[in-house]
Amino acid sequence: MTAAFSNGQPAEDLHHIFFGRGRRKISDDHNLVIPLTVEEHQKAHGPKAREHAEKYCEYMGIDFDKTLLAINSLTNPLKKRDAKKYLNGLTIKMAVKLKSLELDSKYNT
Ligand SMILES: [Zn+2]
């Protein structure tokens, strides 16, 4: 799979765009991941983690603020249902985008 920000270099890591405080599992459940090089992955967990997460969401075509709000709303009984619906909508969208990155690297080698 091609790394998202590496000029066609292969991805070595799959980064969970939302992590910490139980978010890693939610990222897993909804394909909220992005292929990165090791170098880019280190930046993703550095002091500018949020800026990087915003950039990754933009690249993957999802709204950072809405997605974070939905993740944070999963524990709210009144908002849980809508949050799940929103996140379930992203699951397929992310799978399609990840597949396209996979195909890009297959045909650009
Ligand atoms: Zn990571």
Tell me the C-alpha distance between 84 and 79, whole Å.
9
Q: Could you tell me if residue 82 is inside a domain? A: yes
1 in any annotated domain: no
pLDDT band at 93 (very low <50, low <70, confident <90, very high): very high
Domain assignment of residue 22, yes or no: yes
Predicted confidence (pLDDT) per residue in 22-59, tens digit: 999 999 999 999 999 999 999 999 999 999 999 999 99
Distance 12 CA to ligand 1 centre (A): 11
- What is the CA(99)–ligand 1 centre distance, in A? 19
4: CA distance to ligand 1 center in Å?
13
Q: Compute, in angstroms, the gap from residue 40 CA to the centroid of ligand 1.
A: 9
- In a domain? residue 4: no
Q: What are the residues whose beta carbons fall under 8 Å from the beta carbon of 74, sequence distance 6 or more?
A: 26, 80, 83, 84, 87
Number of domains, the chain? 1
AA letter at 41: H
Residues with CB under 5 A from ligand 1 (ion): 15
pTM of the complete model = 0.90
Query: Is 36 domain-assigned?
Result: yes
Does any domain span residue 7? Answer: no
| pLDDT at residue 109 tops 60 | no
Distance 109 CA to ligand 1 centre (A): 26
pLDDT of residue 3: 84
Which domain covers residue 83, as residue numbers? Answer: 13-107
In a domain, 8, yes or no: no
In a domain? residue 49 = yes
CA–CA separation, 88 and 45 (whole Å): 25
DSSP β-bridge partners for residue 35: 14
Distance 55 CA to ligand 1 centre (A): 14
